A and B are shown apart, each in its own frame.
Chain A
Amino acid sequence: MTRWSKVPLVAVAALVGLFLALPTFVLVPLSFTDERTLRFPPDSYSVRWYRNFFESPQWLDAAAHSLAVGLSTAALSTVLGVPIAMSLARSRHRLLPLVNVLVIGPALVPPVIVAIGMFGVLAELDLNRSFPGLVAAHTVLALPVVVIAVLASARTLDVTVERAAASLGASPVRVFVHTVLPAIAPGVVIGALYGFVTSWDELVVSLFITGPTYQTLPVQMWNQVRNTADPTAVAVSTMLITLSTIVLVTAYLVTRARSDRKRRPL
């Protein structure tokens, strides 16, 4: 390709990027408005809506719930996802395709379907509007993400390395800790991060199974924007975008570190 023939491609890519990023450019300045209404550009700036967030027990509770549910979901889906991914990568059992479908399924079904099903099941168990119920629901959604991330690195594992470790005196647990875990660690880290993010900004399922007594951040924002449209939600959005960016950049850096290691000369 010549220098000039790239111009249309670059232009289209830039436009798409701009279109995707544009809300952020509006959102961030707007979160610092000094006014009560959402008008862009604001006439004066302040951090009052940030202060409002940190002074409101309702917002802080929602954030605390989201954080707790997110971390628990990340932990639970990783603990369940790693062995599932390892079996999918290794075993030849004839029921594995079924396991695969069951695990990956929730990623393919529309969220509202999962939400309705979850609501029914959790109502039966009397777990709606509770921390365990929410973690269970989010883990169902996060599991496919974790399994897919771990599976990608588990498939590259060399069984002879594990056999070598065993012959050198490592018990099965130590074989896993010393050879399998280091090899799949990047996949596990990425899986856990995505698992957290999945829970952190999950709205549809949460709307069904939370209530006034137990809300997550996205649900609180949803209610707020529908009722009062005060700029606190925008300030929260800005903070969420910042957090998500940090998580995704971390994931990117982990991935890059991994491919750098592979690219080293022999």
Chain B
Amino acid sequence: MSASAFLEIFDVSKSYGTSKAVDSVSLQVQEGEFVSFLGPSGSGKTTTLQMIAGFVQPDAGTIRLGNRDLTTVPPHKRDIGIVFQNYALFPHLTVAQNVAFPLKMRRVAASEIKARVSRALERVRLADFADRKPTTLSGGQQQRVALARAFVFEPRVLLMDEPLGALDKKLREGLQYEITEITHSLGITTIYVTHDQDEALAMSDRIAIYNDGAIEQIGTGRDLYEKPASLFVATFMGDSNVIPGSLVGTDGAIATAVGQLDGRPAPSVAGSGDGVDACLLVRPENIALVAPAKGGVGVECTVESIVYLGASQRVRVTVPGLGPLTVAQDPSEGLADLHPGQRVRATWRPTDAVTLLGSPKARDRTPAHV
């Protein structure tokens, strides 16, 4: 346990009946840090958030905030702000009264409440809506009220549970920026739950990838994308090509249906021996298509289809004995006159490939988007 951790979750578990919603999760968050919980639905990220908020009691483990054990403290004494997907505003109160609520609960003087509420509403650009009822506002505006209400009392931690999930894409992007701008300028430690990886990448200092009730890996977006520790993280973050095989030595080489291929070994590879199921992960943008006669690390293949996407194009190729690969390339570079049916060679730098333990499930072998 590091001494400087501000919010510390240690070995926390929660079961509902026989299913483990959260299984021995540990996490340390620094003061002022913005950490996202990213994962598929039912992976335990919201349950972890609810345990931090105090709505759910962990079966085991401890939660500490700034050297205080929060594990058994009721929600209203935790000093934690929370924003929900469905806004959860008080419908019978005006916008200003909603934002004033946490200050009233803390018996702040009326004059100070007024000043802080109007500052908070200006911050979320809703000063003109102070006397309106929440139901007369748009979804984006309501969520900004909820945000103001959650930070106006300067909580020690701000929790956000898919706050933009109910909004359309364009509005989401604007609010992503607005939220990080506010949390950073106020220096609030923030935990943000989402299942949208672009959102997590755009907003977070670090991202915790949840799978099956546990954190698979935590790190910056770049770490997770470039140095995934597991096959799940590799395939969850961005598009990927996964080539199955088995380990040869511990330097990251694997034997595949098309011969031996090299990659950077993930840390878990070091402890495994020859013949263990493993696979090679290559990102679509790291593959180049060259003439078949040219050498280099890679595989022979046939062009299946080409989808032009403006800034890039996606080429789907088939490797005999291996299946399809996806290649993302700049339309103006690479082979000229690329066409379906063409024989080419897909190459990449071994340092851009990652060797991971495990064998892909059938659905993972197909690239996500073509």
Contacts and interface: CB of A to CB of B under 8 A. Distances in A.
B102 interface: yes
Nearest to B161: A160
B200 to A, nearest CB: 22
Interface string A224-266: 0000000000000000000000000000000000000100111
Contact of A167 (B78, B86, B92): B78
A178 interface: yes
Given A167-B80, A167-B81, A174 B138 contact: no
A266 B139 CA distance: 8
Contacts of A175: 76
Interface string B73-84: 011111111101
A261 B133 CA distance: 10
A163 interface: yes
Contacts of A163: 53, 55, 75, 82, 84, 88
Size bracket of the A interface? 20 to 34
A160 B84 contact: yes
A29 to B, nearest CB: 45
B101 A178 contact: yes
A45 B364 CA distance: 93
A168 interface: yes
B135 interface: yes
Contacts of A172: 74, 76
A34 B53 CA distance: 74
B153 interface: yes
A266 B135 contact: yes
A168 B105 contact: yes
A158 B86 contact: yes
Contacts of B79: 169
B318 to A, nearest CB: 49
Contacts of A183: 91-92
Nearest to A265: B136
Contact of A179 (B90, B137, B149): B90
A165 B90 contact: yes
A231 to B, nearest CB: 48
B218 to A, nearest CB: 24
A90 B149 CA distance: 26
Contact of A264 (B84, B102, B136, B149): B136
A171 interface: yes
Nearest to B102: A168
A168 B101 contact: yes
A182 interface: yes
Contacts of B159: 167
A266 B137 CA distance: 6
Contacts of B74: 166, 172
A170 interface: yes
Contacts of A264: 133, 135-136
A208 B152 CA distance: 61
A170 B90 CA distance: 13
Contacts of A266: 135-139
A169 B92 CA distance: 18
A14 interface: no
B169 interface: no
> Which of B105, B136, B149, B153 has the most chain A CB atoms inside 10 A of its CB?
B105
Interface string A174-189: 1100110011000000
A47 to B, nearest CB: 45
Nearest to A263: B135
A167 B136 contact: no
A261 B54 CA distance: 32
Interface string B91-124: 1100000000110011000000000000000000
Contact of B88 (A158, A170, A174, A182): A158
A167 B101 CA distance: 11
Given A168-B101, A170-B105, A161 B88 contact: yes
A171 B76 contact: yes
Given A160-B86, A163-B75, A169 B136 contact: no
Contacts of A179: 90
A168 B135 CA distance: 20
A164 interface: yes
Given A168-B105, A183-B91, A266-B136, 19 more contacts: A158-B88, A161-B88, A161-B89, A163-B55, A163-B88, A165-B101, A166-B74, A167-B81, A167-B82, A168-B101, A168-B102, A168-B150, A170-B105, A172-B74, A172-B76, A175-B76, A182-B92, A264-B133, A266-B137
21 contacts: A158-B86, A158-B88, A161-B88, A164-B88, A164-B146, A167-B53, A167-B54, A167-B81, A167-B150, A168-B101, A168-B102, A168-B153, A170-B76, A170-B101, A172-B74, A175-B76, A179-B90, A183-B91, A261-B91, A266-B135, A266-B137
Interface of A: 158, 160-161, 163-172, 174-175, 178-179, 182-183, 261, 264-266
